[in-house]
Structure 1
Amino acid sequence: MNALPPRRIKAAVSYPLPLIKAGVIHTLSRDGGIDVGDWDDDGGREADVLITDAETALSLAAGFARGHSGNGGNGGNSGNSGNGGHWGHPGRPRAKLVVIAHAGRESEVRAALEAGIQGYLLSRCSPDELVSCVRALSAGARYLSDGAMRCVADSLAHEKLTPRELTVLERMAEGLGNKAIANRLEIGMGTVKSHVVAILDKLGASNRTQAVTLATARGLLPPPAGPSLSGPSVPAG
């Protein structure tokens, strides 16, 4: 008896940047075992694997956690056309999610994994790595790029900041001293100082400026929009 041919993998792509979207579709279409389509078309809704951006993936994953499908996070392109935003075709398992991100920041990778997203790639990944990721997810495995894996490893080596410590850190990044932070958050100066000590200890920083720099590198803070924070010192009080 002749063996049945292996089942072809169905992949779909939804991405807010047309150039990346076209490149992903082109790369996967060259693989003999993968059928790839546009998620925004009806055909893409039967996909085994959906390749998308972080915002859309987190929205879909959150919708699944609530017991229904979410809407896309890129202005509605991935969630509001065709079948009304369904994550997968009725009667089929929901597609496995792959994020393609521009930078592998610790907080973003952790958020994706905690949301149940199965694949995480950086936009500089090779075509072969993209294909390997889709094949791995189709087989039921997870796939993280080397950069994403390093982020996860680094995060395990650090103690997480509490929500209040993150808030104080954000005010530090704005250049506020302890008194200004205390006034802004309506807490005592002693409490602010305790939070600052804990932040420096958890980040392994020797001063406030270094703490902000390290936190930005780890993705705990957004990149500065203006001049680098490594210039003028962040005031201490």
Structure 2
Amino acid sequence: MIYTVPVRVFVAHPDPLIQAGLIALLCQAEAVILVAIGDAQVVITDYRNGILEAARVKAHSGKVLVVTAVEKEWLVRSALAQGVKGYLLQSCTVSELVAAVRNVSEGLVYLCPPVRGYAAGGGSVAQLTGRENDVLQLLATGRCNKEIARDLGIGVGTVKTHLKGVMNKLGATARTHAVVLATKRGIVQDVGADRKLTQR
């Protein structure tokens, strides 16, 4: 396909090597030009800065494309909720990068295949009901059944029913096993690990 109108892109990745690589690749891409941030249709950055930039670029109708090593479901969903429009892993191909830039510039959400299922309506969280997910999130913070029941305004028996559903859907054998599985899959927030991951 021949593109006649160039996409205006600003690259602001904090990793110097990734920044240089992105610029070099985009300079060779068809109908893509690098511009100042105020003129950009698409701003490419990392996860942490992507969250911050998503709010800022709305002022000039720009859209954020994140290129990162972070692929945990919790963090992908958080980025999308904050307004990030594109999400690529650093292992993406050149054609995928260009496709993401074009899609995002047109107002579409672009997710690379490894994280595509994490969008709303897909992924492992979607298998849980809203209440099951609520219970799981609280369970991951260390709350007991009584505390979960109090926080959600439901009975302890209802909490147990939801926990049973969570365990069945995750294939867990116990409460702690459910939290371990959910954390590994990125369904719940692993605060310590995610603090390190979001620096990338």
With the shorter chain as reference, the TM-score category is 0.7 to 0.9
Q: Residue 53 of structure 1 aligns with which residue?
A: 46
| CA displacement at 1:130 relative to structure 2 | 0.4
Higher relative contact order (CA 8 A, sep 6+): 2
2:182 paired with 1:221: no
User: How much has 1:197 moved relative to structure 2?
Assistant: 5.6
What is the identity, as a one-letter code, of the residue corresponding to 1:222? D
**1:198 corresponding residue in structure 2:** 162
Residues 192 and 99 of structure 1, relative CA distance in 2, 3 Å threshold = farther
Query: Structure 1 141/131 Cα, relative in aligned 2: closer, same or farther at 3 Å?
Result: same
Corresponding residue number in structure 1 for 2:197: none
Please say if 1:166 is aligned against 2:159.
no
Residue of structure 2 in register with 1:21 after alignment = 19
Cα distance in 2 for partners of 1:195, 1:9 equals 50
Measured on the aligned residues, the alpha-carbon RMSD in Å equals 3.2
Which of 130, 135, 138 pairs up with 2:105?
138
Q: What is the identity, as a one-letter code, of the residue corresponding to 1:100?
A: V
Unaligned runs of 5+ in 1: 38-42, 64-68, 70-86, 173-177, 226-237
Is the alpha carbon distance of 1:215 and 1:48 closer, same or farther for their aligned partners in structure 2, counting shifts above 3 Å? same
Deviations 1:104-149 (A, max 9, x none): 2222222222233221111211111001110112233221111121
Displacement of 1:28 in angstroms is 0.8
- CA-CA distance at 1:193 after TM superposition: 8.1
CA distance in 1, matches of 2:176, 2:14: 35
Contact 2:47 2:70 (8 Å CA) reproduced: no
Aligned residues: 181
- Is the Cα contact below 8 Å between 2:46 and 2:67 reproduced in 1? yes
Q: Secondary structure at the match of 1:110?
A: helix
List gaps (5 residues or longer) in structure 2.
Answer: 194-200
Aligned pairs for 1:62-77 within 5 A? 63=55, 69=56
Rounded to whole Å, the distance in 2 between the matches of 1:16 and 1:167 is 34
In the alignment, the residues of structure 2 paired with residue 30 and residue 106 of structure 1 have an alpha-carbon distance, to the nearest angstrom, of 32
Q: Is 1:104–1:151's contact at 8 Å kept on the other side of the alignment? A: no
Q: 1:108 aligns with which of 49, 54, 75?
A: 75
Which protein is richer in helix relative to its size?
2
TM-score by length of 1: 0.63
Q: Partner amino acid for 2:128?
A: H
CA distance in 2, matches of 1:35, 1:196: 56
Deviation string, structure 1 residues 147-174 (Cα, Å, up to 9, x no partner): 12122321322334555642331227xx
Q: Percent identity?
A: 27
The equivalent residue for 1:229 is none
